[in-house]
């Protein structure tokens, strides 16, 4: 028969076995948790290295962009200086431009333009022999009409069957 001491011992052993089982279950869960935590930490360390490498690359590109920006700024400073110099020169030339613009419609300018035009027209109408450094008159085909007396003949394209000599400046009948 069982006495109260033995019942107490059996109950205590049962509670002790249940407690050990629960403790073992909790230790297994804690072991899995530690394994997963260490795996997550090693993954974060790898990603942290990649993140640091990308941040360094971004910083390097930013440094290159700053260098390019400083070069652009320097060239813009040069452009600004050149534009200031050009503005100064244009300001200095503005009175001259106003004088030229004002004199373009003046009577003296109109008379000079007319005199030049008349001189040019007379020069173009001079006979061939009266021109300085003129070439000999070109040989014309029999059907061609000579220019009016005192008029300069205008050059005409060669008629079919005629060609211009390479160096003589005269037309020869083409050899067929």
* Structure confidence by residue, pLDDT tens digits, 87-125: 888 888 888 777 777 766 778 778 888 899 999 999 988
CA dihedral 156, 159, 165, 166 (to 10 degrees): 70
Q: What is the spatial distance between Cα 131 and Cα 122, in angstroms, rounded to a whole number? A: 11
User: Is residue 163 very low, low, confident or very high in pLDDT (cuts 50, 70, 90)?
Assistant: low
Contact 163, 174 (CB under 8 A): yes
- Whether this prediction's pTM lies above 0.85 is answered by no
Radius of gyration for the chain, computed over Cα atoms and rounded to the nearest angstrom: 54
Q: What is the spatial distance between Cα 176 and Cα 174, in angstroms, rounded to a whole number? A: 6
pLDDT at 134 over 50: no
Q: Check residue 1 and give its pLDDT.
A: 61
Closest by CA position to 172, among listed 163, 78, 85: 163
When comparing pLDDT for 173 and 56, which is higher?
A: 56
pLDDT at 171 over 70: no
Q: Check residue 108 and give its pLDDT.
A: 79
User: Is residue 176 very low, low, confident or very high in pLDDT (cuts 50, 70, 90)?
Assistant: very low
Q: Check residue 162 and give its pLDDT.
A: 53
User: Is residue 128 very low, low, confident or very high in pLDDT (cuts 50, 70, 90)?
Assistant: low
User: What's the pLDDT tens digit per position in 46-74?
Assistant: 899 999 999 999 999 999 999 999 999 98
pLDDT at 3 over 70: yes
């Amino acid at each position: 028969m069982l006495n109260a001491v033995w019942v107490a011992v059996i109950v205590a052993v049962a509670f002790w076995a249940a407690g050990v089982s629960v403790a073992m279950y909790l230790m297994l869960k804690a072991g899995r948790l530690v394994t997963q935590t260490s795996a997550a930490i090693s993954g974060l360390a790898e990603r942290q290295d990649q993140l640091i490498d990308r941040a360094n690359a971004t910083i390097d590109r930013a440094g290159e962009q700053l260098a390019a920006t400083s070069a652009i700024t320097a060239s813009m400073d040069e452009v600004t200086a050149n534009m200031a110099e050009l503005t100064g020169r244009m300001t200095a030339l503005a009175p001259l431009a106003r004088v030229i613009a004002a004199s373009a419609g003046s009577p003296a300018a109109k008379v000079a333009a007319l005199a030049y035009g008349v001189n040019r027209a007379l020069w173009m109408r001079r006979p061939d022999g009266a021109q300085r450094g003129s070439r000999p008159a070109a040989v014309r085909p029999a059907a061609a009409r000579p220019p009016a007396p005192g008029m300069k003949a205008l050059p005409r394209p060669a008629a079919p069957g005629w060609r211009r000599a390479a160096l003589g400046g005269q037309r020869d009948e083409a050899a067929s």
